[in-house]
Chains A and B, each alone.
Chain A
Amino acid sequence: MKILVCMKHVPDMESKFKISTDGRWYDDGDLAWRINEYDEYAVEQAVRLKEQLGDSDITVLSIGPERVKEAMKKALAMGCDRGVHVVDDRPSDRDAMAIATIIAAFARGRNFDCIFTGMQSQDRGSGQVGLLVGEMLGLPAVSTIVDFSCIGEHNYTIKRELEGGVRAVVEVRGPALFTCQLGLNTPRYPTLPNIMKAKKKELLTVPVAELAGGGNLQDTVRLFFPEKKGGGMLLEGEVPQLADKLIAILKEKTTVLA
């Protein structure tokens, strides 16, 4: 089976964000980068599928500047067979449709049997790219999956997460695309031998111009911090004093210590 995983490199969300000078995205500097959390579930699910079926081949694709290679090496160490780095210095300038166009252009004609993406990125969070790729390739696509089983070679039973603890059970036949939600699996840590092996795996480079097409359908006017709603009190300092202050506040403002 030929498997494709799509992966985005995103900043750690605990980072201190600064707005970029053009005001339309965050500044790239001084950030710790990692694999988009949802995409890590996608990588893990691809590797599990390969372990189940044997005789499979996993390509992991990422769009971005040079640094995304670091994330791809981790995916290779987790068990992907080959990396495809689509070199693009400013992927944040592209909307979801433009990003999906690039991925679909790569996948077209390569006959992937199964494609995994995260359900959304942690930074842009549109939740569209995976589904758009599915539509562009004419594949059935199931979003927000929290349970995945492959029966035989191409039959999938999927559980989608809905609201309020409800899951929808859906069956599709491959080739198909799945977008992965938190709770689908627990991604493995790469082992040292696998990290060493990953260094020898193929990492192809494709200039984005070879795959991109069409313009954006939407434009970011600006990125900004939400206004802090007044009222919230910030307590900082040494732990024992913080505890005393908080207890005093709870006594004054609530009835729970009465």
Chain B
Amino acid sequence: MNMLLVAEYRQGKVLGNFHELLAFAAQLQGQPSLFVVGDVNAPPAFPGRVYIADVTTYKEYDPSSHKKLLLEAVRREQAEMVVFAHSSYGWDLAPRLAMALGAAQISEVTAVIDGDCVVPACNSKLRRRVKSLSAITVVTLQSGAFSAQAAQTGTPAVIPLEIDEAGPYTFKGYEIATAGGVDLGKAAVIVSAGRGIGKPENVALVAELAKTLKGEYGASRPVVDAQWVEHHRQVGTTGQTVAPKLYMACGISGAIQHLAGMKKSEFVVAVNTDKDAPIGEIADVMVIADLKQFLPVLTEKLRMV
């Protein structure tokens, strides 16, 4: 099967996540080629065909021209599968391409069973096995689901792509969040607050416990978005990635974006009222309790240890 893997280019660099796409292609025993809108003079190391369109012409974000360039690559490669990372670039472009190809698009693939894709459902509480019914299939892969292949070597056969296009999108540039005062990466203990804390006053319960454990407190995204906790304390894909000795997830259901930021912690304790919350998949200990009652008692007892 010919597979076209879509690499991403951001702020002047090809992102490394295409190595995960290569692992997926290897698992399916496909013949991979790469596509990237990037620097024509600096193709990624890869022992195969690489379709490159010039990023200075087509910009780092312009889904309309990127889609047309991809269509051209799919046609030339006679690809039966187009593979993206399930990222802000991939999930934005994949449906547009699928629409143009009349192809099924399967989002956030975590595994493959007998040629069918497995994707998460209901906040990762469930899994769905999906079969494509179209001649070409477009997939996006969950970050981390397929272990990245080693860095590639070899000189690619570069195939430059060009189209005539003035799309409706004007990409103005990037905004980078300013780094905050707390470096959670240095803390041995992190106690994090999730949506389950219910109201901003309860952040204090989490902060108190963190202090007692001589650690820092963090938060999952919804708590930061609600402005109950500052952004620099956010753990997850859009915040910090941490690996403390102890991570306590309080009222955090365990969305993949959060797990990506803390799953390397040495020991994980989850406090949750929902036994089936996906955080249970990676927690070493899951305490089924209302954190508003449990945390103050735990803090008090720890003070006496």
Instruction: Decide if B96 is an interface residue (CB 8 Å cutoff).
Output: yes
> With an 8 A cutoff between CB atoms, is A123 at the interface?
yes
A152 in the interface, Cβ–Cβ < 8 Å? no
Q: Does B238 contact A (CB under 8 A)?
A: yes
| Separation of A95 and B120 alpha carbons in the complex (Å) | 15
Closest Cβ neighbor of B143 among chain A residues: A163
User: Residue B221 contacts which of A132, A173, A182 (CB distance < 8 angstroms)?
Assistant: A182
List the A side residues contacting B167 at CB < 8 Å: 140
The yes or no answer to A136 lying at the interface (CB within 8 A) is yes
> A232–B280 contact, CB under 8 A?
yes
Selected from A26, A126, A229, the residue in CB contact (under 8 A) with B107 is A126
User: DSSP majority for the A interface?
Assistant: mixed
State the CA gap A232–B276 with chains docked (Å): 12
How far, in angstroms, from A32 to B10 measured CA to CA in the complex? 41
Q: Which one, A53-61, A75-83, A250-258, is touching chain B?
A: A250-258
Cβ 8 A contact of B280, one of A157, A165, A170, A228? A228
Contacts of A14 in B (CB 8 A): 253, 273-274
CA distance A218 to B91 in the complex (A): 17
Task: Identify the closest chain A residue to B274 (Cβ).
Answer: A14
A114→B133 CA distance, assembly (Å): 33
- Which of these binds chain B: A42-50, A197-205, A241-249? A241-249
| Chain A residues with CB below 8 A from B266, complex form | 254
List the A side residues contacting B105 at CB < 8 Å.
96-97, 126, 128, 218
Given A26-B122, A95-B104, A172-B169: A256 and B129 interface contact (C-beta under 8 Å): no
Q: Which residues of A contact B64 (CB under 8 A)?
A: 140
Contact A170/B171 with A217-B134, A256-B213 known, Cβ cut-off 8 Å: yes
Contacts of A216 in B (CB 8 A): 133
Segment at the A interface, from B26-34, B40-48, B71-79, B292-300: B292-300
- Chain B residue at smallest Cβ distance from A217: B104
Q: Enumerate chain A interface residues (CB-CB to B < 8 A).
A: 11, 13-14, 16-17, 26, 95-97, 122-128, 131-132, 135-136, 140-144, 157, 159-173, 176, 182-183, 186, 216-226, 228-229, 231-236, 239-240, 242-244, 246-247, 249-251, 253-257
Question: For the complex, what is the distance from the CA of A14 to the CA of B253, rounded to whole Å?
Answer: 9
Residues of B within 8 A of A (CB): 10, 60-61, 63-64, 87-89, 91-92, 94-96, 98-100, 102-108, 116, 119-134, 167-177, 188-189, 213-215, 221-222, 225-226, 231, 237-239, 245-246, 253, 266-267, 269, 273-276, 280-289, 293-294, 297-298, 301-302, 305
Does A232 contact B283, Cβ atoms closer than 8 Å? yes
A239 vs B269: C-alpha distance when bound (angstroms): 15
Contact A246 B285 (CB under 8 A): yes
Give A201 Cβ to nearest chain B Cβ, in Å: 29
Shortest distance between the CB of B210 and any CB in chain A (Å)? 11
Q: A166-B177, A254-B245 are in contact. Are A123 and B288 (CB under 8 A)?
A: no
A-B contact pairs, 16 of them (CB 8 A): A14-B253, A97-B104, A125-B123, A128-B94, A135-B96, A142-B169, A143-B91, A169-B173, A169-B175, A170-B171, A183-B221, A217-B133, A218-B134, A239-B289, A239-B293, A256-B188
Which residues on B sit within 8 Å (CB–CB) of A160? Answer: 61, 88, 92
- Complex CA distance for A88 and B99, rounded to whole angstroms: 23
Measured in the bound complex, the distance between the Cα atoms of B108 and A256 in whole Å is 36
A161 touches B95 (CB 8 A): no
Q: Is the CB of A220 within 8 A of B130?
A: yes
| Cβ A234 vs Cβ B87 within 8 A | no
Chain A residue numbers with a CB within 8 Å of B125 are 13, 17, 225
Closest 3 CB pairs of A and B: A165-B177, A217-B104, A218-B104
Q: How far is the CB of A6 from chain B (nearest CB, A)?
A: 14
Pick the residue among A186, A219, A225, A253 that contacts B127 (CB under 8 A): A225
A216 to B149, CA, bound (A): 34
Chain B binding surface, main DSSP class: mixed
- When distances are taken between beta carbons in the complex, the residues of chain B under 8 Å from A183 are 221, 225
Q: Determine if A221 and B92 form an interchain contact, defined as CB atoms under 8 angstroms apart.
A: no
Task: State how many angstroms separate the Cβ of A113 from the closest Cβ of chain B.
Answer: 14
Q: Name the B residues within 8 Å of A172 (CB-CB).
A: 168-170
In the bound complex, CA of A221 to CA of B106 (Å)? 13
Give A168 to B8 CA distance when docked, in angstroms: 14
How close is B250's CB to chain A, nearest CB, in angstroms?
A: 12
Are the CB atoms of B169 and A224 closer together than 8 Å?
no
Q: Is B176 a contact of A226 with CB atoms below 8 Å?
A: no
| Shortest CB distance A122–B (Å) | 6
Please determine whether A223 and B176 come into contact, CB atoms closer than 8 angstroms.
no
CB-based contact A167/B175 at 8 Å: yes
How far does the alpha carbon of A161 sit from the alpha carbon of B221 in the complex, in Å? 13
**Contact (A236, B288) CB under 8 Å given A13-B125, A125-B107:** yes
Asked whether B168 lies within 8 Å of A243 as measured between CB atoms, the reply is: no
Contacting residues, chain B, for A13 (C-beta < 8 A):
122-123, 125, 253
List A contacts of B246 (CB < 8 A): 250, 254, 256
Residue of B nearest to A179 (CB): B92
Smallest beta-carbon distance B283→chain A, Å: 5
- CB contacts (< 8 Å) of B98 on chain A: these are 97, 128, 132, 217
